[in-house]
Structure 1
Amino acid sequence: MKIKVGFGFDVHQLKDNHPFVIGGVNLEHHKGAFGHSDADVLLHAICDALLGAANLRDIGFHFKNTDPQWKGISSIILLKESVRLLKEKGWQVGNIDAMLCLEAPKINPHIPQMQKNIAEAIGISVEDISIKATTNEQMGFIGREEGVVAYAVCLIEK
């Protein structure tokens, strides 16, 4: 068996009165992430981790933010497509470990649904999806609620 580890990172600007989707969950908040797709920072970091582990470049290579095909698209679709690309190369996902960094809203109540959404999109157990959240202690652009950041690592196996 061959295994590889991947690392992903994503950041999105927060804007007033904009939808806020994280892990495929629509969050109630006065600000939301802005981007070409639904700007789901968590799923974008996971896609980058998976694609990177399989040496398939990154999310921007496959889903260009200048391509109207991806405008406003659910990042669940981008995650499913990333997993399809891995499977074409004979890889399967072992597990995901992710970290969100934002001041608000509180993420903890939404983690089980996020895990479920991601597990279903990838085709693995909820037990293999770890999501954690922290704040930036009111420092920097995260602390001022100007942006949101996500990090992810994954294990893939062949």
Structure 2
Amino acid sequence: MSSPRIGVGTDVHKLVPGRTLWLAGLEWPDEDQGLEGHSDGDCVAHAIVDAVLGAAGLGDIGSHFGSAEPEWADAAGTDFLRETARRVRAAGWSIGNVSVQAIGNRPKISTKREQAERVLSDAIGAPVSLSATTTDGLGLTGRGEGIAAIATAILFQA
């Protein structure tokens, strides 16, 4: 039996007016800005994708779902998670669990944490724990210009 593999993923997206905010697999309709991106911009889901792909040694989100791939335009982050899980399993890995942290002033993750964890866990096919923090007014997340996320995943050889 091989040793477990750990991956880390990071993603950051700019907040822009006129877009729906999708974060942690959920729509946040009370927010007046959304995340810019080729897809829905869900940086929490994207960070998870990078962590899982990295742990499996399969590259990163850009090499699988890049902006040059028109079929992934406007795709939901949960679609990326499902397809990532499929590809990782096909490569002989099982996902143990994922921990992900959203970094930004808004939205208040605590209001939907349990729902987001269920949606993310269902999409990736493994337990996902979600936390959130602010940067006390520092940097692009502190100024409300964007949201970032950092994820860690552990995989086991199937």
Match of 2:76 in 1: 74
> What is the aligned length?
155
Deviation at 1:119, TM superposition (A): 1.2
1:5-42 residue CA offsets vs partner (Å, 9 max, x unmatched): 00000000001232111111001211111100000100
Distance 1:29 1:17 in 2: 10
Aligned mates of 2:37, 2:125 — CA distance in 1: 26
SS of equivalent residue, structure 1 residue 105: coil
Match of 1:85 among 87, 95, 115: 87
Alpha-carbon distance, 1:76 to partner: 0.8
- Secondary structure of the corresponding residue to residue 117 of structure 2: helix
Stretches of structure 2 lacking an aligned partner (at least 5 in a row): none
Cα distance in 2 between the residues matched to 1:140 and 1:48? 23
Letter in 1 for 2:47: A
TM-score by length of 1: 0.94
SS in 1 for 2:112: helix
Which residue of the partner structure matches residue 110 of structure 1?
Answer: 112
* CA–CA distance in structure 1, aligned partners of residues 9 and 102 of structure 2: 12
Q: Which runs of 5+ in 1 are unaligned?
A: none
Question: 2: CA distance between counterparts of 1:144 and 1:6?
Answer: 29
Residue of structure 1 in register with 2:97 after alignment: 95
- TM-score (norm. length: structure 2): 0.94
